[in-house]
């Protein structure tokens, strides 16, 4: 799952930006899963469906979250190995490839560059002024959340939206100091700021509120996000985005009219890397052009500072769930609708794999009836009843209630402040208008994005029951005429 409110802010307010010893169950990629059913499967009975294979889930988890893949870091050889393993499993289950060229693996290209050192923003004194330049440094008085220029100098324009006034037109190329309404929702802030950031301004500066102080502290520890180029995209002209501590913002705001501000940074050259999506399908019968998309992300954080971030719950658990759903559905009569299984690469880098796919879809996006992303199912959420799962964005569509009516043990996300709807690959699809939501049982455990997210922490009985509980509702969704819709005003 995409990391905390740091990346969430970059995804929403700055749209679409990122020790444990594994038990002896570790399996090699060539190991064929056993077929003995789980004794604790409690899913609804749907026709003569096959039993869930608990040992298959354990074998897949043991390899994906095991030492051989070293955490499946985004855009690494280990992520590629994971993709090839998953593709081999789906092929062995009898699924057809769903990549456009008849392959199971779609290779995506990502170009990135990084900031070196700590960028600065400087208030430049006007002509004839005796004042000295005032320098603000990333990680101290400011954080440069997104950096698109190594250097620039532009005149300041002040825009006060704190009283909810109609935004004035920005001066092209200006540095915009923007006061926002206290307590403004992130989606509303994104809507207000996006016109400024998409080519109108050279830099946008907003104050860090009490609500955003935690975000400021986390961003201060990281280098600025730099534009990612998916596929053969050309670099765009997005404004530098800066979050300033209140006292620093006030100092900028109180500068005389006509003051200029400058950004100075050092950027590396562009570097191309790859990520890998795995795409397979069970082709439908009478309604095969209607698509149900089941997905998870196959990557995690890899190795950092010599430590392996195994990513057992995030998101080997979701990947194993999609694999088991694929195995079980492949043993049933073919559904009326086509079911696509997508395992995305590069989620932790900013939903890269799913974004690449949306640029180069291998089937018509408008045919996707619904997307269910499976994310962090490896432990029960203490806020829920036993065996329950939650669905992100429950209040946004009528999909969750419909699935619950047909046996899914789904409820609304009990952690609304975490904005999980916007923190996984489903969000990239939802922004394209696709009904796309995440199924999870993440209860905010402290091993999230830590080296301690290991397979020995997985509650396998919970995970087995979670996967089994979804087979009946998913089978219904693949065979019904029901098409979910957005609730009025809730489409992102």
pLDDT value of residue 42: 38
> For 436-482, what is each residue's pLDDT tens digit?
999 999 999 999 999 999 999 999 999 999 999 999 999 999 999 99
Average pLDDT over residues 380-403: 97
Tokens 């403004």 belong to 184
Residue found by looking up tokens 């939206």 in the block: 161
At residue 350, the pLDDT reads 87
Q: How confident is the model at residue 2 (pLDDT cuts 50, 70, 90)?
A: low
Average pLDDT (90-115) is 93
Residue 492 lies in a domain: no
CA contacts within 13 A on the Cβ side of 334 = 14
What's 45's domain CATH number?
A: 3.40.630.10
Q: Is the same domain home to 142 and 206?
A: yes
Do 107 and 236 belong to one domain? Answer: no
**Cross-strand bridge partners of residue 156:** 175
The residue among 241, 267, 293 that closes a domain is: 267
Contact 308, 76 (CB under 8 A): no
Q: What's the rounded Cα separation, in Å, for the pair 426 and 420?
A: 10
Regarding whether 348 and 290 lie in a shared domain, the answer is yes
Residues 310 and 441 in one domain: yes
The reply to whether 16 and 57 lie within a common domain is yes
Residue with tokens 């997508």: 342
Residue 488 lies in a domain: no
Instruction: Report the distance separating Cα 361 and Cα 349, nearest Å.
Output: 20
- Between CA 467 and CA 319 the distance in angstroms is 11
Distance in angstroms (rounded) separating the CA atoms of residues 84 and 28: 12
Using 50, 70 and 90 to split pLDDT, how confident is the model at 165?
A: low
The 10s digit of each residue's pLDDT in 127-164 is 777 788 999 999 999 999 998 888 999 999 999 988 86
Residue 251 lies in domain: 114-267
Q: Exposed/middle/buried for 29, CB within 10 Å: 0-12, 13-18, 19+?
A: middle
Residue 486 counted as domain residue: no
Domain's final residue, options 239, 267, 295: 267
Q: How far is CA 38 from the centre of its chain?
A: 31
Omega before residue 315 within 30° of 0, cis? yes
**pLDDT band with cut points at 50, 70 and 90 for residue 186:** low
> Residue 38: pLDDT band by 50, 70, 90 thresholds?
very low
- Of the residues 267, 290, 313, which one is the last residue of a structural domain? 267
Can you tell me which residue has the tokens 């509702």? 473
198 has pLDDT over 50: yes
What are the pLDDT digits (tens) for 10-30?
444 443 332 332 333 333 344
**Mean pLDDT calculated for residue range 1-16:** 47
242 and 192 share a domain?
Answer: yes
Residues 327 and 457 grouped into a single domain: yes
| Assigned domain for 441 exists | yes
Shared domain check, 118 and 107: no
Nearest CA-CA partner of 358 in 272, 233, 238, 481: 233
Residue 243 — φ and ψ, nearest 5°?
Answer: -110, 125
Q: Does residue 150 form part of some domain?
A: yes
Burial of 306 (C-beta count, 10 Å sphere; 0-12/13-18/19+): exposed
Which pLDDT belongs to residue 320?
98
Tell me, yes or no, whether 487 lies in a domain. Answer: no
Residue 235 sits in the same domain as residue 367: no
Residues 204 and 240 in one domain: yes
CA-wise closest residue to 312 among 425, 442, 424, 458: 458
| % pLDDT > 90, the chain | 69
Residue 81 lies in a domain: yes
Same domain assignment for residues 247 and 289: no
So what's the pLDDT on residue 463? 97
pLDDT digits over 315-350, tens only? Answer: 999 999 999 999 999 999 999 999 999 999 999 988
Considering its fold, how many domains does the chain have in total? Answer: 2
Looking at residue 251, which CATH number applies to its domain? 3.50.30
In-domain check, residue 220: yes
Same domain, 105 and 212: no
């Amino acid at each position: 799952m995409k990391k905390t409110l740091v990346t969430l802010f970059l995804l929403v307010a700055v749209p679409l930006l990122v020790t444990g010893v594994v038990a002896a169950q570790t399996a090699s990629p060539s190991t064929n899963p056993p077929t003995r059913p789980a004794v604790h499967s409690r899913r609804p009975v749907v026709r003569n469906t096959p039993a869930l294979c608990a040992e298959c889930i354990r074998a897949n988890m043991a390899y994906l979250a095991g030492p051989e893949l070293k955490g499946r870091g985004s855009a690494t050889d280990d992520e590629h190995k994971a993709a090839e393993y998953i593709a081999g499993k789906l092929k062995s289950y009898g699924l057809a490839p769903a990549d456009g060229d008849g392959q199971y693996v779609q290779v995506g290209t990502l170009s990135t560059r990084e900031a070196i050192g700590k960028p600065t923003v400087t208030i430049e004194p006007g002509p004839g002024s005796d004042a000295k330049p005032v320098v603000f440094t990333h990680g101290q008085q400011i954080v440069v959340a997104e950096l698109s220029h190594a250097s620039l100098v532009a005149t300041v324009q002040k825009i006060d939206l704190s009283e909810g006034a109609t935004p004035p037109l920005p001066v092209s190329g200006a540095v915009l100091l923007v006061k926002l309404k206290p307590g403004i929702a992130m989606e509303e802030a994104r809507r207000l700021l996006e016109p400024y950031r998409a080519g109108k301004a050279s830099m946008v500066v907003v104050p860090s509120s009490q609500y955003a102080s935690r975000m400021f502290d986390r961003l201060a520890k990281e280098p600025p996000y730099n534009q990612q180029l998916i596929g053969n995209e050309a670099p765009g002209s997005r404004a530098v985005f800066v979050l300033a501590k209140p006292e620093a913002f006030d100092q900028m705001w109180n500068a005389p009219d006509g003051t200029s501000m400058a950004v100075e940074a050092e950027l590396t050259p562009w570097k191309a890397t790859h990520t890998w999506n795995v795409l397979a399908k069970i082709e439908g019968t009478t309604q095969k052009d209607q698509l149900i998309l089941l997905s998870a992300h196959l990557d995690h954080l890899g190795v950092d500072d010599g430590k392996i971030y195994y990513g057992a719950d995030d998101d080997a658990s979701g990947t194993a769930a999609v694999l088991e759903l694929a195995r079980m559905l492949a043993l049933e009569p073919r559904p009326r609708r086509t079911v696509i299984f997508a395992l995305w690469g590069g989620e932790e880098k900013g939903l890269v794999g799913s974004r690449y796919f949306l640029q180069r879809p291998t089937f018509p996006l408008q045919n996707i009836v619904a997307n269910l992303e499976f994310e962090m199912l490896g432990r029960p959420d203490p806020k829920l009843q036993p065996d329950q799962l939650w669905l992100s964005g429950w209040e946004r569509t009528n999909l969750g209630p419909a699935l619950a009516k047909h046996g899914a043990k789904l409820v609304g996300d009990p952690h609304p402040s975490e904005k999980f709807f916007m923190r996984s690959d489903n969000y990239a699809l939802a922004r394209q208008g696709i009904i796309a939501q995440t199924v999870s049982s993440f209860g905010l455990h402290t091993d999230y994005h830590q080296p301690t997210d290991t397979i020995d922490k997985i509650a396998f009985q919970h995970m087995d029951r979670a996967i089994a509980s979804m087979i009946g509702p998913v089978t219904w969704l693949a065979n019904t005429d029901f098409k979910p819709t957005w609730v009025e005003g809730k489409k992102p």
